[in-house]
Each structure stands twice: as structure tokens, then as C-alpha cells.
Amino acid sequence: MPEPPILLSKWYDYAKWIVERVDSFPKNQRFIFGQRLAGHALDIMELSVEAAYAREKRELLATANRKIEMLRWLIRMAKDRTLFTGRQYEFICEKLEECGRMTGGWLKSVQKKRGASESSGPPGDVTN
């Protein structure tokens, strides 16, 4: 399972960056966008940690994927409200895309493994 530790490290750095940016939001926006942005980023990191150690990863990763999509929309709205500079927005989107691809890839690999184990069925007695 080499990918999850890399993903966890990237999500940690990404969540840390978001929390640091949120600290510089105007006070009235810190509550509206700041808490949600930071909360979603931290939730995704927590779900990734749980999935790395859980036996059943599929639901955790599916939830993380949904939160990533919500984070995309929140980031877009924060940019439209000029809470991010153009460079910050470019950086945040690039990192989110990278981490999102990794999470999605991990989910697909888990689903593929699960599908393969389900389609093989229980071992049985084959007689001719």
C-alpha cells in the first residue's frame, strides 16, 4: 500500500496551507468561508488516515471524494469573493486536483479489488 502514505503527506501539507491562508481572511469571512474550507480539508485528511488503516476503505474514500468536490466549489466561491489571489487560487486548484486524482485512484483500486474478490465467488467443488 505505497500510495496512501504519499497521499496522507500531501493532504497534510495541503490542509496546513489552507488553514494558514484562512488565518489571513478578513474577520467577517473567516467564519463564513474559513471554517468550511479548513473543516473540509481537515475532514478529508482524517478520512484518508482512517482509510489507510481501515479494513473497509471504500466508504471512507467515497466520502472523501464527495468532500473534495465540495471543497472545489467552496474554493471557487472564495476566489470569486477575492479571498485568494490569482496565484493562490492557481496553487490551491493545482494541489487539490493532484490530491483528488490520488484519492480517486485509490478508491478505484479498492473498488477493483473488491469487485475481483466478489466475482470470483466462493470456492466450490467442480466436478465433470
CATH assignment of the domain containing 22: 1.20.1440.60
Cβ-based neighbours of 83, under 8 Å, separated by 6 or more: 25, 26, 29, 33
| Choice between 114 and 71, residue whose per-residue pLDDT is larger | 71
Give residue 92's pLDDT band: very low, low, confident or very high (50, 70, 90).
very high
The boundaries of the domain holding residue 79 are 3-113
Is residue 19 included in any domain, yes or no? Answer: yes
Continuous segment of H or E residues that includes residue 125: none
Q: Helix axis angle, 58-80 relative to 35-53, nearest 10°? A: 160
Is residue 106 included in any domain, yes or no? Answer: yes
Residues composing the chain: 128
Q: In total, how many domains does the chain have?
A: 1
What ranges in the chain are assigned the alpha helix state H?
Answer: 3-22, 27-29, 35-53, 58-80, 86-120
| Choice between 125 and 3, residue whose per-residue pLDDT is larger | 3
The stretch 39-49 carries a mean pLDDT of 95
Q: Structure pTM?
A: 0.81
Is residue 17 included in any domain, yes or no? Answer: yes
Is residue 57 included in any domain, yes or no? Answer: yes
